[in-house]
Amino acid sequence: MSLYFASDQHICLTHPERGRRFARFLGLLDPRRDSLVVAGDLCDFWFVSREKHSPEAASEPGLSALRKFIDAGGKVTLLPGNHDMHLESFYRKVLGLGFSEDLTFDLEPVDQSAQPTKTRIVHGHLLGGRSKWKGLMEGRGFLKSFELLPSRVADRLAGLLQKYNSRNRHEDNLRHFRVYESHVRSAVSPCGSHYDIYILGHVHQTICTEVTLQPGDESKPPETTLMVVLGHWFHRASWFRIDPDLSWSFWFWDDDAPEPEKVSDHRIDPPKSLEID
């Protein structure tokens, strides 16, 4: 059994290619053996605020493929993101699945002589890296008001936000990375030790890097943990996989590629200039 992690699909009816990417990815998984963790923002703000009541919403290709995977016995854990945290009733209706509050996974290896891997998953929007005004956009009041706007006005506001995000992406990503790195260093598992793998979403930048931890005993050499930022699905699919032998791998799948690509380390290094995507 392999455990897959993906985040920030941002499914919406106005961008059907995102759902199609997710459906193609789900076709790789065996529901009898594989499990999937969606670490937040399965659906987009636009879907939450303006599309969830549409007759086409429940039959969106990505959501339909996920329901098919679940119905075939596939195990799915769904975490709330900043975009879709108000969609739990919709997800229960369409997917038969609500949000999980259990963000810690102890992975039992096939080789019983090895220690279980302590893995923590969190979307990351509440860790302190985002602007306060963006947090206000996630309240039910704002979502309801945005739903009632004429399409022309809503489109105009969405366009302005997209321009702002593009203009400030470098600074925003770097700020989040620093917050994430600090949080990973301080996070301690219920057993009192650091996590072996820390998986985050929210930031639309694919990163997979080791973070050096401060040892409690300074006489001992420093330990490291693996920090994984899953990245978005706007232009391609990306996911992280842990196999039964506890080996891990990162994958990209471009739309025009017949098969996914296992990513080499140099393409997902920690951000120096933050110009990967």
pLDDT in tens, 55-73: 888 899 999 999 999 999 9
Report the pLDDT value the prediction gives residue 97, as an integer from 0 to 100: 92
The CA distance from 150 to 140, in Å, is: 18
Residue 100, in any domain of the structure: yes
Residue 274, in any domain of the structure: no
The whole-chain average pLDDT of the chain stands at 83
Report the pLDDT value the prediction gives residue 276, as an integer from 0 to 100: 41
- pLDDT for residue 274 is more than 70: no
Residue 272, in any domain of the structure: no
Residue 160, in any domain of the structure: yes
Residue 180, in any domain of the structure: yes
Residue 273, in any domain of the structure: no
- For the whole prediction, is pTM greater than 0.75? yes
Residue 55, in any domain of the structure: yes
Q: Which long-range contacts (CB under 8 A, 24 or more apart) does 185-189 make?
A: 185/211, 185/212, 185/213, 185/214, 187/120, 189/104, 189/118, 189/120
Residue 211, in any domain of the structure: yes
Domain CATH code at residue 27 = 3.60.21.10
- pLDDT for residue 271 is more than 70: no
Per the structure, the complete domain to which residue 97 belongs is given by: 3-267
As for how many domains the chain has, the answer is 1
